[in-house]
């Protein structure tokens, strides 16, 4: 009998992933709009979440790309982590967060177990939050590959990254049913991107020819420079519109897998 994968965009980088009884949330951001800081990077939020923490409900785990940028973990998102069984993130982030946080290295796999014997493979994936040389400025980041029968056969969540040799390696190793791209072409530090733009997303479409593609983290913050509508337009102009499924905030999309 076919199973389903349900994705719900809550806002920014925050999306609910549901499949086979598991419920996981990417980068929790639940604060209302507001200014967090002016420098060295201006973090200003322009939209609130489509769902509250209470409306999201119980979770099996949080997938946290990194903990040290407000647009990936805001105040309300940080507060909710104590009520989640497990938070997967970078090793450095796990040390900072403590509690239920578990660090993953790229291609390190851990088993997430449900109450009734269900299990899910959670694998860390490489991420580079900007151009070559950005690492000492941006800090450690990570993506995630989820799987049931084997690692990475369900979903690949890129986290905050550009397309680079590390993400290319993910495509060589895994064949996910869906890829969740962190897009928006973020420009908080000048004339270079720190998250995927349309060119990166098109590379992902090439590298994952059998995967459904979804784009998040492309609205809600002033440093995001490419909207989902602009990304869809690029895919359409290059006759690739069938590869990218737009998401509407607060509205679940279900795939049969």
Name the average pLDDT for the chain: 94
Exposed / middle / buried, residue 54 (Cβ in 10 Å: 0-12, 13-18, 19+): exposed
Q: Tell whether the model's pLDDT for residue 104 goes beyond 80.
A: yes
Can you tell me whether residue 12 is helix, strand or coil? Answer: coil
Q: Region 174-197: what's the mean pLDDT? A: 90
Is 166 strand, coil or helix?
helix
Distance in angstroms (rounded) separating the CA atoms of residues 141 and 129: 7
**Which domains, and CATH codes, for the chain?**
4-247 (3.60.15.10)
Confidence of residue 2 (pLDDT cuts 50, 70, 90): low
Write down the pLDDT at residue 189: 67
The per-residue pLDDT for range 143-170, each reduced to its tens digit, is 999 999 999 999 999 999 999 999 999 9
Gap between the Cα atoms of 157 and 110, Å rounded: 16
């Amino acid at each position: 009998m076919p199973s389903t994968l349900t994705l719900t965009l809550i806002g920014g980088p925050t999306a609910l992933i549901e499949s086979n009884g598991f419920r996981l949330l990417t980068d929790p951001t639940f604060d209302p709009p507001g200014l967090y800081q002016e420098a060295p990077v201006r973090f200003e939020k322009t939209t609130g979440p489509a769902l509250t923490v209470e409306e999201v409900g119980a979770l099996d785990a949080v997938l946290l790309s990194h903990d040290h940028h407000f647009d990936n973990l805001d105040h309300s998102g940080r507060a909710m982590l104590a009520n989640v069984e497990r938070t997967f993130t970078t090793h450095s982030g796990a040390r900072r967060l403590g509690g239920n946080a578990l660090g993953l290295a790229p291609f390190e796999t851990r088993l997430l177990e449900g109450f009734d014997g269900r299990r899910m493979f959670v694998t860390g994936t490489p991420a580079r939050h900007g151009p070559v040389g950005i690492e000492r400025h941006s800090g450690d980041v990570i993506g995630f590959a989820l799987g049931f029968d084997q690692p990475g056969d369900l979903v690949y969540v890129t986290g905050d990254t550009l397309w680079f040799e590390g993400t290319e390696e993910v495509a060589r190793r895994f064949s996910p049913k869906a890829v969740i791209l962190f897009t928006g072409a973020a420009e908080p530090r000048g004339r270079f991107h720190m998250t995927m733009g349309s060119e990166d997303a098109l590379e992902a479409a090439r590298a994952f020819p059998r995967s459904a593609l979804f784009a998040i983290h492309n609205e809600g913050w002033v440093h995001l420079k490419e909207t989902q509508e602009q990304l869809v337009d690029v895919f359409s102009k290059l006759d690739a519109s069938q590869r990218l499924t737009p998401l509407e905030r607060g509205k679940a999309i279900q795939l049969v897998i």
